Amino acid sequence: MSRRGETTEETSRASAPTQANVTDQPKRMKIIHVVYLIAALDITWMFLQFSVTPYLAKKLGFDTLWLGYLQTMVGVIQLIGGPMFGRFADIFGARAALSLACSATVVFFLLLAIAESPAMLFIHKLPTVFMHVLPASQMVVADLSEPEKRADALSKLGLCFGVGMIAGSTLGGQLNTRYGETFTASFGAVGSAFSLLLVLKFIPKTTKDQAPTTKTDSENKSKSIFNLGEITRLMKFPGVKRTFLVKIVAGLPSGIFQVMFSIIAMDFFKLQPEQNGYLMAYFGISSMVVQGGVIGRLTARYSENSLLLLSIGVSSLVGLAQAYMQNVFQFCLIVIPMVFSLSVFNVITDSMLTKSVPSSDTGTMMGLCASVQALLRTVGPTAGGFLYVNYGISSIGLMQFVVNIAVFVHLLQRRLKKTDVQKE
């Protein structure tokens, strides 16, 4: 193994027993594969929930405006909870973090199963503050994978997302149609409890390499999960702030389109629920192909900076194509480059950010990355709704083109300047 592995072996006597369980490569890979399964199951339960909440909300008298409030509430809660949960994962370890996330999911579905009033529908969203299985899974994969293979390992979680999207949408639709919302929500609770059992059985207490710490280090590092200073200090590491800003700015326009897609599908494309289901399956299959078979090969041959430039460049062209599309067939042609750019962009930025901070802080960093998605879900409905109602679907695509091409030019200029300095 690498020098990192030798260091871990030398300090194994001083480390916790659970840490010794993840020092050799076969055991690391076994844990990673279990994490992939847990992530796929979690996405399955979440998409199963999507087949319950809209129909239950309609029965309880919710209109489009109140559904928007419900969605915004989730975004705000997870925006606050993401960094705190990541900090919790760094302090208490992988098993505690995933156990908390899966337990919160069980409570989430149980509350959904007994929701019989508009107030209960809002209350059942409160556990989402802890429902961060995917960021916790990303932390474990980042901790256990070699740096040069990290992007490929993280991309496999995207493959799990595609599997869960297809399985959850299909299963949720079938269960809801045959047995109703209460049974479907209860099924989700049982499934989440099974995920919790997998965590308790196979995930070690910690997945981080433990190095000897000095007394000064122990005194300086706070153990509070609510310490904003410990969270924001990650921005001081070289390259973190720039990559994080790129993740927010370049990801915002495509995030707005994703948030608005359900409205675009119904209003612009005039799709029926069954047709929309087929389109979502097409999304899922495209994501599985890209994340499972393409990203790993690209990261093995090209640098992460090159792939980041490529993803942003392709995204700008996707935005231009979205501005001029007229029908669902044209959109289906756009889906493939769109999924490619989104997948590569998210995987590469996550990989770059986790490599820029110590292993002890990967959970907090993944929590911050999750907060970016929550931010998009918070501002996306308002910004996207304003653009769509006043300027049409083309305005969203044109904004994506302009923003991404500007970021692309900026990064390209920085890279060329850096190359010139190195030559000199």
pLDDT tens string 29-54: 899 999 999 999 999 999 888 878 87
pTM, whole model, 2 decimals?
0.77
Residue 294 carries which side chain, given as an amino acid letter? V
Residue 224 in any domain: the answer is no
**Phi, then psi, of 207 in degrees rounded to 5:** -115, 10
**Rounded to whole angstroms, how far apart are CA atoms 289 and 335?**
12
Residue 37 in any domain: the answer is yes
- Structural domain count of the chain: 1
Asked whether the predicted pLDDT for residue 150 surpasses 50, the reply is: yes
Q: Across all residues in the chain, what is the average pLDDT? A: 83
CB hemisphere CA count around 247 (13 angstroms):
26
Segment 211-216 mean pLDDT = 44
In Å, how far are 41, 109, 323, 345 from 44, measured between CA atoms? 5, 13, 32, 23
Q: What b-and-e string marks burial along 88-100, b requiring 16 or more CB atoms within 10 Å of the CB?
A: bbbbbbbbbbbbb
Residue 225 in any domain: the answer is no
Q: Which residue has better confidence, 355 or 379? A: 355
Residue 3 in any domain: the answer is no
Lowest model confidence (mean pLDDT) among 9-18, 257-266, 349-358: 9-18
Nearest residue to 189 via CA among 258, 102, 265, 123:
102
Select, from the ranges 105-109, 138-142, 144-148, 291-295, the one with the highest average predicted confidence (pLDDT).
105-109
**Rounded to whole angstroms, how far apart are CA atoms 134 and 129?**
13
**CA dihedral for 142, 146, 147, 150, sign (positive or negative):** negative
Q: Which residue has better confidence, 383 or 308? A: 308
Select, from the ranges 132-136, 148-152, 371-375, the one with the highest average predicted confidence (pLDDT).
132-136
Identify the H or E element spanning 16.
none
pLDDT given at position 7:
40
Asked whether the predicted pLDDT for residue 338 surpasses 90, the reply is: yes
Q: How do residues 186-205 score in pLDDT, each as one tens digit?
A: 999 999 999 999 999 999 98
Asked whether the predicted pLDDT for residue 26 surpasses 50, the reply is: yes
**Rounded to whole angstroms, how far apart are CA atoms 97 and 326?**
45
Residue 22 in any domain: the answer is yes
Residue 4 in any domain: the answer is no
Nearest residue to 132 via CA among 398, 372, 404:
372
Segment 132-151 mean pLDDT = 87
* Beta carbons of 71 and 193 less than 8 angstroms apart: no
Residue 218 carries which side chain, given as an amino acid letter? S
pLDDT given at position 310:
95
pLDDT given at position 224:
62
Asked whether the predicted pLDDT for residue 139 surpasses 50, the reply is: yes
**Rounded to whole angstroms, how far apart are CA atoms 314 and 387?**
22
Q: Please state, as a whole number, how many other Cβ atoms lie within 10 Å of the Cβ of residue 177.
A: 11
Q: Which structure tokens are listed for 128?
A: 């989402």
Q: How do residues 359-400 score in pLDDT, each as one tens digit?
A: 888 888 888 888 887 887 778 777 887 888 888 889 999 999
Q: Which structure tokens are listed for 69?
A: 């409030």
Residue 7 in any domain: the answer is no
Q: Which residue has better confidence, 272 or 357? A: 357
pLDDT given at position 195:
95
pLDDT given at position 403:
95
Segment 92-113 mean pLDDT = 94
Q: Which residue has better confidence, 246 or 207? A: 246
Residue 111 in any domain: the answer is yes
**Rounded to whole angstroms, how far apart are CA atoms 253 and 195?**
34
Q: Which structure tokens are listed for 46?
A: 């979440």
Percent of the chain with pLDDT over 90: 33
**Rounded to whole angstroms, how far apart are CA atoms 252 and 259?**
10
Percent of the chain with pLDDT over 70: 88
Domain that holds residue 170: 16-208+233-423
Give the pLDDT band of residue 319 (cuts 50, 70, 90). very high
Q: Find the CATH number of the domain harbouring 71.
A: 1.20.1250.20
* Beta carbons of 254 and 315 less than 8 angstroms apart: yes
**Phi, then psi, of 111 in degrees rounded to 5:** -65, -35
Segment 208-230 mean pLDDT = 55
**Rounded to whole angstroms, how far apart are CA atoms 167 and 280?**
11
